[in-house]
Every structure is written in structure tokens, then in C-alpha cells.
Structure 1
Amino acid sequence: MLGYLIYFALLMIIPLWAQSKVKNTYKKYSKVMNSNMVTGAQVARKILDDNGLYHVTIEETKGTLSDHYDPRKKTVRLSTDNFHGYSAAAAAIAAHEVGHAIQDAESYAFLRFRHSLVPIAGFGDKMSFIFIIAGIFLQATNLILIGVIFMSFAVLFQLVTLPVEFDASNRAMNQLVSSGIIRNNEERQTKKVLNAAALTYVAAALVAVAELIRFASMFLLANDE
């Protein structure tokens, strides 16, 4: 029983800790202005243009830290604070999302692979627990196995997301430095913002792997009985 409590506590604590780290880091560096006094939208536009991605548009989107790149519409969407903001955080996040646009333009392998996983990963994420719970109540190991297989696709998606996000952050740093948007004393601040954001993906992957291992072990134990 203690083992189960520790397991579930970790599943809750790790994501909450990662989210708290991101929010606190973002809050801190959203109050620090970048030396060139350029908005997140201006940062995104400059890096896009420097890489010949004139066709990629930039839009403002609602919410906080709702920034993302839409590969279907070739659009970088920045939350209001980052779209209009002059902060170090806004510059870092804008550059990161443009990193995804550059990946898309270069047909980055992991990004293409992640896109191919979206339909089955989404389906697996929704259906896996239904099959697993049904299998437990009906004592049907075949249903548990189906649930574990579906879950494995969702976990694979989380794992493939890691190199995609880390690569986008590396591209962001390189672009910010080479374009002169940030100076030497600002590199440390930018890395802190990018690293904090990466923690959420690492935490999500760890939780997903832990859940998969737990349910796979459950299937193996049930199958041996």
C-alpha cells in the first residue's frame, strides 16, 4: 500500500513541480526587459525572415503560455504578453516557437515522426484507460494488453516530443545570439527560460513512462496467475 501511495504521489508531484518551475521562471524574466527592446512578435519576425520563412505568419493568441507553432497553417502563435512584451521571457519563447517553424521548413525527422503519431497517440491516450479498467473489472487480460498497447503509442509521442523541444530550444539560442537580439549577459537568462519550459515535457514523459510500466507490470502479473 505504501508503494502505491508513493507512486501516485510522484505522479502528482513531478508535474506540479515542473509547472511551478515554469511559472516562476517565466514570471521572473517577464519583468526583465531585453536590451534591444524588441517585442516577442518582432523577435519572431526577424528570425523567420533571417531564415527565409517569409510565408510563415505570426498571430496573437489568448491565454498565458499558450504559445505554439501551427504547422498546418504555417503560423507562429504568441500569447498576448509575449506578442507585445519586451521581456527576456517573451524573446526566448518567441524564438523557441520559431525554432519549430525552422524544423518544419527543414523537415526535421523527429518533428515529422511526431506529426505522424498524432492520430494514433490521441486515440491511444483516450482509449487506453477504458480498456485497462474494463480488463481489471472483467478480469480479462487481453483487454488490459490492448490498453497497454494503446498507451504505448501515447508514451512514444511524449518521448519523441523531447528531442523536438530540445532541438527547438537549441535553435532558438543560436538564432537569438547570431542575430544579435540578445547579448552575452542575456544568454544565461534566456537559457533559464528555455530550460524551465523543457522541464514540463520531461516531467510529462517521466509520468507517461511510469504509468506504462505500472500497467504493463499489471498485465504480466495477471497473465501469470
Structure 2
Amino acid sequence: MFYPFFDSTYILVIIGMLLSMVASSYVNSTYRKFDKVMNRKGYTATDVARLILQDSGIHNVGVQQISGDLTDNYNSSTKILSLSQTVADSRSVAAIGVAAHECGHAVQDQKHYAPLKLRIAMVPVVNFGAKISIPLILIGAIFFSATPALVTIGLWCFALTFLFQVVTLPVEFNASRRALAILSENHILEDDELVMAKKVLTAAALTYVAAAVASLLQVLRLFLLFGNNNRN
């Protein structure tokens, strides 16, 4: 007999949650620290985004401001680069680093960067897998003698979330590398400011690492709970 919501494997979920909380706290504290440092050339993050896109020969991407705090993103479908309220009009080194990172995704899109294309293609599949995974696992476990294959299918559907997180890692790290290179080559930030921007982007990247680890731990927990039952 097993208790899927109250068992020793739940410690894996707790560890994942703690890792995510620590990573989130670290990126926020790092951003707040360098958000107090204004770049010497007086650029706003929006100025930098438009400058990078223009210098990269990207003329089909719009830049807009959206609500929220650090909700910045690039949408490859709509070709819109969105900067959050706290970033868009800021002249801080931290904000410029964030804006440049999102521009890095736009450059990836322009150059048909393979991991980005793979991640985009995976989105509908992963979303579908996430919706049906738990129902399949539970149905398969309850009616195991009649539907043993459902447990296995459900487990692998859930595992797609971890695979998606793994594919996301090179996309995010590459976008940050491109961002720092562009900021340096275009002399947008001074050398010491680049070091600060790199610290912000490194902290942000750690949140994706934490998310991947947390996803792996969740997958491991489900395999421990239901995979053993499947083998039996």
C-alpha cells in the first residue's frame, strides 16, 4: 500500500522547493544590489534593447513595456520583446543586463539557434504531457491489473517536463553569453559594469538550474512511488 501525498519520498519535493526558493532569493538580492548602480552612459534598458536589435540587423522585433517585476521575456511567435515596468525605464546596470539577455533570445531566433527551436517545438508536447501524466498514473495505479501500461506512459509524459528544463539550460546560458558579448562589443557598458551585469545574469541562470534539479527530483519521486508498483 502506498500514500502518494504522505510518504518519505516527499522529501525530494521539499528539497526541490528549497533549491528554487534559494535560487529565487539569490537572483532577487543580486538584482536589487546592482539595480542601484546607474550606467555611466545614461542608457535606459529600453534604449539598449532597441540599440542591440538595430545593430544586430533585427528589424521585425518590437519592444514593449509590460506590468510586473522581472517579468521580462521574448516571444518568438509574436516577435515581441517585453520589458517589465521595473526594467524598461531603468538606467541601472542590472536592468540593462536583463534587457540585453532578452535581446540575446531575439538574436538566437534570428540565427535559428537549434536549442531555441527545439524548446519552442517542445512546448505543446510538454504542456499536453503535463496535463495527462498524473491522471494516467493514478488511473493506471488504481486499475493496475487491467491497465499496467498507463503507469509507464504517465511517468514518461511527466518526465518530459524535466527534459524541457534540460533543453532550456543551454538556451538561457547562451542568451546571457550573447548579451555580455554585445554589451562589450558595442561599448554600452564599461568593463566594471560588465562584471556587475554578468553577476546578475549568472544569478538568473541559477534559477533555471534549480528548476531543472527540482523537476528531476519530482520525476524521481514518481518513479519511486509508481515505477516499483509497475515492475511488480
Task: Note whether the superposition's TM-score is higher than 0.5.
Answer: yes
TM-score of the two chains, using structure 2 as the length reference: 0.91
Q: Using the alignment, how far apart are the partners of 2:150 and 2:196 within structure 1?
A: 49
TM-superposition CA deviations, 1:123-170 (whole Å, max 9, x none): 112221222233334445422212112112222111100000000000
Match of 2:154 in 1: 147
Match of 2:48 in 1: 43
Q: Does 1:195 align with 2:202?
A: yes
The match for 2:83 among 65, 78, 81 is: 78
> Residue 185 of structure 1 aligns to a residue in which SS?
helix
Match of 1:103 in 2: 108
Q: How does 1:1-225 map to 2 (within 5 A)?
A: 3-139=8-144, 141-225=148-232
TM-score of the two chains, using structure 1 as the length reference: 0.94
How far residue 3 of structure 1 moved from its aligned partner, in angstroms, is 4.6
Is the deviation greater in 90-99 or in 24-33? 24-33
Q: Which has the higher contact order (CA 8 A, sep 6+)?
A: 2
One-letter amino acid of the counterpart of residue 109, structure 2: D
Q: Using the alignment, how far apart are the partners of 2:195 and 2:135 within structure 1?
A: 45
Q: Using the alignment, how far apart are the partners of 1:136 and 1:10 within structure 2?
A: 26
TM-superposition CA deviations, 1:151-195 (whole Å, max 9, x none): 122221111000000000000000001110111111221111101
CA RMSD after TM alignment: 1.7
Whether the 8 Å CA contact 2:139–2:150 is kept in 1: the answer is yes
How far residue 207 of structure 1 moved from its aligned partner, in angstroms, is 1.1
> Residue 82 of structure 2 aligns to a residue in which SS?
strand
One-letter amino acid of the counterpart of residue 130, structure 2: D
How far residue 23 of structure 1 moved from its aligned partner, in angstroms, is 1.2
Unaligned runs of 5+ in 2: 1-5
One-letter amino acid of the counterpart of residue 177, structure 1: S
How far residue 219 of structure 1 moved from its aligned partner, in angstroms, is 3.7
Instruction: Give the structure with the higher percent helix.
Output: 1
- Structure 1 residues 138 and 11, CA gap change in structure 2 (3 angstroms): farther
> Residue 77 of structure 1 aligns to a residue in which SS?
strand
